[in-house]
């Protein structure tokens, strides 16, 4: 998924920048009297031996005009591009956010490196365009990281699919139980209604869980707020379970009160358990949603 690639890049951006800074500083001399276009082009050739999957490498002059290998300044100016003005502003190697190319619309990132003379006067900006996929592969901790990430995504997808089937089964059974209860309205059995409500409530709880897993692990959404999303999902899931147990305990109270009064104590135990779960959930909500500053004090 496109959004997942962007989120992966955001996490690995610092590793990519560190690697690109290493390449630039090792191959292009900076802040020395002998710095010129020829030495910069020689350094670029060395960088090309290190990175064989780049989209393009080019040099801009101090005002943002592109310079070809013959030293001829092109008419097109790139001073309004992030890879130029961010490098000038920072005065160091930078890596841009992903952006689409004008030709193909493919997402790329650009690593830029400002080159100065011995007087700290800006001479050139060396730029390297990398596709988003290439940038992620370069910054990956190992060659197996992407494979492991894909396997993890597939497993979470399969688990989401299986849990969705369970959810649909509970939903179908709940609707069927409700239909049967309403179809025999003259001989109405309240147990069927309670069972239907419990099944639908559990289906809702599992659906919330599946939704959270699929969005976070498969689609890669809410990565920046994953902790809050997990907390919210836990509250909804546990809340649905507590509701189902409360309904079950209420059903047992009615059943034992009418037919088996000697067993009503078991329903009381279940109600006490539900009350304990409610108190525990309240404590969880209280501490889970504390602001980060309050947690750190």
* Chain segment 42-92, per-residue pLDDT in tens: 999 999 988 878 999 999 999 999 998 888 888 789 999 999 999 999 999
The answer to whether the CB of 188 falls within 8 A of the CB of 181 is yes
Q: And the tokens for 283?
A: 């404590």
With tokens 């239907």, the residue in question is 196
83-140 confidence digits (pLDDT tens)? 999 999 999 999 999 999 888 889 999 999 999 999 999 999 999 999 998 898 887 6
Task: Tell me what pLDDT residue 242 has.
Answer: 85
**pLDDT for residue 296 is more than 60:** no
Under 8 Å between Cβ of 41 and 118: no
Question: What are 216's two structure tokens?
Answer: 């976070």
Looking at residue 72, the DSSP 8-state letter turns out to be P
What lies within 8 Å, CB to CB, of 143 at 6+ separation is none
- Is the per-residue pLDDT at 226 higher than 70? no
Exposed e or buried b for every residue in 72-93, given b needs 16+ CB within 10 A?
eeeeeebeebebbbbbbeeeeb
Helix 190-213 vs helix 145-183: angle between axes, to the nearest 10 degrees? 160
What pLDDT was estimated at residue 2? 55
Q: What is the mean pLDDT of the chain?
A: 83
The sign one gets for the Cα dihedral 188, 194, 199, 203 is positive
Give Dmax over CA atoms of the chain in angstroms.
99
- The pLDDT assigned to 142 comes to 59
Residue 246 pLDDT: 84
What distance in Å separates the CA atoms of residue 145 and residue 136, rounded to the nearest whole number? 10
pTM: 0.57
**Domains in the chain, start-ordered, CATH in brackets?**
2-139 (3.30.450.20), 145-296 (no CATH)
* pLDDT(192) > 80: no
User: Token pair of 159, please?
Assistant: 């688990």
Which element (helix H / strand E) includes 112? strand 107-116
Residues 11-52: tens digit of each pLDDT? 788 889 999 999 999 999 899 888 889 999 999 999 998 887
pLDDT of residue 1: 46
Q: Is 123 helix (H, G, I), strand (E, B) or coil?
A: strand
Mean pLDDT within 179-207: 76
Both tokens assigned to 178: 């409700």
């Amino acid at each position: 998924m496109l959004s997942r690639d962007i989120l992966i890049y955001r996490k690995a951006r610092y590793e990519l920048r560190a690697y690109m800074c290493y390449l630039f500083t090792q191959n292009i001399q900076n802040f020395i009297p002998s710095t010129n276009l020829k030495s910069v082009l020689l350094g670029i050739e060395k960088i090309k031996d290190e990175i064989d999957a780049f989209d393009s490498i080019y040099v801009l002059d101090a005002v943002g005009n592109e310079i070809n290998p013959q030293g001829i300044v092109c008419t097109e100016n790139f001073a309004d591009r992030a890879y130029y003005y961010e490098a000038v502003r920072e005065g160091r190697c930078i890596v841009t956010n992903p952006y689409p190319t004008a030709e193909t619309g493919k997402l790329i990132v650009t690593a830029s490196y400002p080159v100065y003379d011995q007087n700290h006067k800006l001479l050139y900006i060396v730029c390297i365009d990398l596709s988003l996929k290439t940038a992620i592969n370069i910054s990956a901790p190992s060659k197996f990281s992407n494979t492991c990430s894909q396997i993890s995504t597939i497993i979470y997808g399969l688990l989401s699919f299986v849990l969705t089937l369970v959810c649909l089964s509970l939903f179908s059974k709940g609707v069927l139980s409700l239909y049967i209860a309403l179809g025999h309205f003259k001989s109405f059995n309240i147990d069927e209604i309670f069972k239907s409500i419990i099944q639908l409530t559990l289906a809702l709880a599992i659906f919330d869980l599946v939704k959270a897993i699929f969005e976070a692990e498969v689609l890669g959404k809410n990565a920046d707020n994953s902790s809050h999303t997990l907390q919210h999902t836990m509250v909804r899931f546990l809340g649905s379970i507590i509701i189902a147990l409360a309904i079950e305990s209420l059903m047992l109270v009615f059943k034992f009160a009418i037919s088996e009064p000697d067993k009503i104590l078991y329903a009381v135990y279940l109600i006490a358990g539900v009350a304990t779960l409610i108190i525990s959930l309240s404590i969880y909500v209280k501490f889970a949603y504390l602001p980060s500053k309050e947690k750190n004090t």
